[in-house]
Structure 1
């Protein structure tokens, strides 16, 4: 399996990248980003790219890939809806169009989050925008899955880029064993998320919008 990852330097993306590098069935991983992951691995190739609205210059390099795991995102805190929409809607749609043009059968796994609203009725701006993005991706890509994790434990040694998330995960990390025991349907890890994406790509899943419980089930299936 040949995989492309967006957002591999983020808290979620680092775990997804790790899952791909560990997986025997993954032969090649192409990371698209503005900064380096700092990783070195025989499977890994990184491609620097600045304009996430236009992939014309590198689109030929997307040919022959089986899946894209789109983990790029940002917090809505302090952002206008217009700016948040560019990053959380326009960027992933531009990537999906370029990727599917180069690799028509490619699977597209998009990380949104618990609370995403596909109806457009939510009072929360981020939930509406991400819901709109999900709907557009599901219409555009025949093999697309939307991942809506709730609490995500990051890969050990990684840090979130947003200060609020740094504080949140500093509190959550030592509580993870307890949370997993008392609320297993709402807690996962970034590596499990990556395994679930691999399993969805490999075997296909009829449900195209996946909550944390679905993610953990797919991750367990991938490990068995």
Structure 2
């Protein structure tokens, strides 16, 4: 299948591109990114680097470059200067992508095919925006807001050709994590980024029984 990977330069996004290249389930990767990718990736015959500056909009010229994609995976966004920027990137950008893919890419697929949108969320994401939370309140509310928005977009599709999955990893360990980091990660169920990437690709290619996929489920994918 042909896959869109958004956020291709981040921890999760770069692992997704790497694992898509290695996977026999993926025939081509559209790496959607603001910045050029390393030559070792960009020159791989399975990869098309699609440069895009404004992720709040998906003009026809951009969507034409993504034609034929059967699914998309959004890498987890981190390290933003303030909550408003974080919310804009996580919520506004993600929902803009989902809406554009629903309206323009899903209808292009052959009859009977579904466009799968996999969002890398996080453990303890909270849909109730008014619920008082005692730790990581902004992060959990924002991730919950994205999940809820994506599910509403999918539910609005009367053709049932656009489906959404939200994966909720706890911590994510980089591929080169040292022994101390891996041991501390066990305390909160952290998952290796390549293990996570392989699981997200499997969800994208095969679907999954649940729309919300918790951390312990990701471990066995």
Matched, 1:118 2:127: yes
2:70 aligned residue: 66
User: CA–CA distance in 2 between the matches of 1:136 and 1:122?
Assistant: 20
Secondary structure of the corresponding residue to residue 35 of structure 2: coil
Which one of the candidate residues 143, 146, 155 is aligned to 1:133?
146
Kept in 1, the 8 Å contact 2:116–2:204? The answer is yes
**5+ residue gaps, structure 2:** 107-113, 155-161
What is the match of residue 10 of structure 1?
10
For residues 126-162 of structure 1, what are the alpha-carbon distances to aligned partners after superposition, in whole Å with 9 as ceiling and x for unaligned?
A: 2112101110101213421111111211133xxxxxx
Q: TM-score scaled to structure 2, two decimals? A: 0.82
Gaps of 5+ in 1: 157-171, 219-224
Give the alignment partner of residue 196 of structure 1, picking from 170, 179, 199: 199
1 or 2, which has the higher helix percentage? 1
Q: Secondary structure at the match of 2:37?
A: coil
Question: Which position in structure 2 is the counterpart of 1:214?
Answer: 217
Q: CA RMSD in A?
A: 2.0
The TM-score with structure 1 as length reference comes to 0.81
Q: Does 1:155 align with 2:182?
A: no
Cα distance in 2 between the residues matched to 1:152 and 1:64: 31
Q: C-alpha separation between the residues in 2 aligned to 1:37 and 1:214? A: 31
Following the alignment from structure 1 to structure 2, what is the Cα–Cα distance between the partners of residues 20 and 122? 39
- Alignment of 1:109 onto 2:118: yes
Helix, strand or coil at the partner of 1:186: coil
Number of matched residues?
Answer: 199
The reply to whether residue 174 of structure 1 matches residue 183 of structure 2 is no
Cα offset, 1:176, TM superposition: 5.3
Does the 8 Å CA contact 1:153/1:173 hold for their aligned counterparts? no
**Other-structure match for 2:96:** 94
